[in-house]
Amino acid sequence: MKCAPLLIVILSLIAFSSCEKVINVDLKNEIPRLVIEGMVDDAGNPAKVIISKTAVFSANNNYEKIRNALVKITDNLGNIFLLAETSAGTYTNTTLTGVVGRTYHLSVMLDGKSYTASSTIPRKAILDSLLVDNNAIGNAGQKWIGVVFRDPVGFGDNVQVVQTINGKGDRLTHVAYDLYDDGGSSAFFITTGKIKLKVGDVVKEELRFIDENVFRYLLGVQNLADGFTIPENPNSNISGNVLGFFSAHTSQTKTIVIP
């Protein structure tokens, strides 16, 4: 698949230099809402669900963790996996390893209410390698990583990349939309936001093939960060009017050191 950067990336090139100032804005504070984030992958990482609440804008990010929820994942073959609370608000199961093609069904029971979601692990392509290139479209002299993989023939193979730089997550969202059906090799270049990569930096890229609902959710998150569309909460694939998402995806990881 050729990963066409969405319009967003093009628009960010045309940002004008200007005056920036941190200001105080009077914001309405919504009463805290429930956030559920869950994931299952095929690489042996534990299935994990994190349940928390939203905080007000001016607060520090120590979100309230929700304890004592009943969390369960079942697959379409009838297997049931219970997730135990291993730390406050985090529920895991180390025996569940996802399989490509299977549909996983999440169920969270909390305070008498039930929240459910489904996600199917899509097919994947092999992550070939990572390469370092100059990001001439970004700021001068910036480097960025291209994630190289072979695209399956056909459309709809959307991907997400999770980037970790020197052990810390980059706190950005990177998704790409499958526009090409060639089956050839393609490279998805990962932006680094305000972080400037330098010689010796260790960069880990995790390539995930995600289903359509998860792609749209993460694209919604990416749009919020880019600021070129009217802000809206991304469409969660979890029922019950909650925030967050449930993703069953493939996972492959490679690491590179910036030369």
Partner 1 sequence: MRFLFLFLFLAFGLASYAQDKQSFTISGTIKDAGTGETLIGANVLLYATKQASTLTNAYGFFSINAKEGTYKMSVSFTGYITDTATIAIDKNREFFIGLQSKNIQLDVVVVNSKNKNENIAKAIMGVDKLNMTEMNKIPVLLGERDILKTLQLMPGYKSAGEGNSGFNVRGGGTEQNLILLDEAPVYNASHLFGFFSTFNSDAIKDVSVYKGGMPAQYGGRLSSVVDIKMKDGNQKKLDIEGGLGAIASRINVSAPIVKDKGSFILSARRTYADAFLGLIKDTGQGKQSLYFYDINLKANYKISKKDRLFLSGYFGRDELVLGNQFSTDWGNKTATLRWNHIFGNSLFSNTSLIYSNFDYKVRVKFGSDEFRIFSKIEDFNFKQDFDWNISNKSKLRFGGNIINHTIAPGAVVFATSTGGAAKPVQNRFSNESALYVSHELKATYKLEIIYGLRASNLAVKGAGNFYSYDKAGNIIATTSYAKGKTVVSYFNLEPRFSASYKLTELSSLKASYNRNVQNLHLITNATSNAPYDVWLPSTNNIKPEIADQYAIGFYKNSNQGMYEFVSEIYYKALENQIDYRNAAIILGNDNVESELLYGTGRAYGLEMMMRKKTGRLTGWVGYTLSKVEKKIEGINNGDYFNARQDRTHDISIVGMYDVNKRWSVSATWVYTTGNAVTFPTGKYEANGQTVFLYSDRNGARFPAYHRLDLGATLEARKNKKRRYQSSWTFGVFNAYGRQNAYTITFRENKNDPAKSEAVRTSLFSFVPSVTWNFKF
Applying the rule CB under 8 A, the residues between 207 and 246 that interact with partner 1 are 216-221, 223-225, 227-235, 243-245
142 burial (CB, 10 Å; 0-12 / 13-18 / 19+) is middle
Q: Which of 37, 42, 85, 211 binds partner 1 (CB under 8 A)?
A: 37
258 binds partner 1 (CB under 8 A): no
Residue (77 or 140) nearer to partner 1, CB: 140
Q: Any contact of residue 14 with partner 1 (CB under 8 A)?
A: yes
Distance of closest approach, residue 105 Cβ to partner 1, in angstroms: 19
What's the farthest any 2 CA atoms get from each other in the chain?
58
Residue with tokens 């994947």: 124
- Contact pattern for partner 1 over residues 132 through 171, marking x by CB under 8 A: -xx-xxxxxx----x------x-x------x------x-x
The yes or no reply on residue 204 touching partner 1 (CB under 8 A) is no
Q: Using the rule CB under 8 A, is 206 a contact of partner 1?
A: no
Q: Among residue numbers 60 through 99, which ones bind partner 1 (CB under 8 A)?
A: 60-63
Q: Does 172 bind partner 1 (CB under 8 A)?
A: yes
Choosing from 53, 102, 105, 204, the residue that interacts with partner 1 (CB under 8 A) is 53
CA angle (27 as vertex; 24, 29 as ends), nearest 5: 140
β-pairing, 243-249 vs 34-41, is parallel
Q: Is the distance from CB of 67 to CB of 50 less than 8 angstroms?
A: no
**Residue 148 Cβ vs partner 1, minimum distance, rounded to whole Å:** 8
By residue count, the chain amounts to 259
Which residues are CB-contacts of 229 (< 8 A; sequence separation ≥ 6)? 223
Closer to partner 1 at the Cβ: 104 or 246?
246
Between 79 and 154, name the residue whose CB sits nearer to partner 1: 154
Q: Count Cβ neighbours within 10 Å for each residue of 15-48 and write b for 16 or more, e otherwise.
A: eeeeeeeeeeeeeeeeeeebbbbbbbbbeebbbb
Instruction: Output 78 or 194, the one with its CB closest to partner 1.
Output: 194
Tell the smallest beta-carbon distance from residue 215 to partner 1 (Å). 8
Q: Does residue 198 interact with partner 1 by CB under 8 A?
A: no
CA 244 to chain CA mean position, Å = 11
- How many Å apart are CA 2 and CA 176, to the nearest integer? 9
Closest distance of CB 82 from partner 1, Å: 24
Distances (CA, A) of 35 to 55, 87, 149, 241: 11, 16, 33, 10
Q: How many residues bind partner 1 (CB under 8 A)?
A: 91
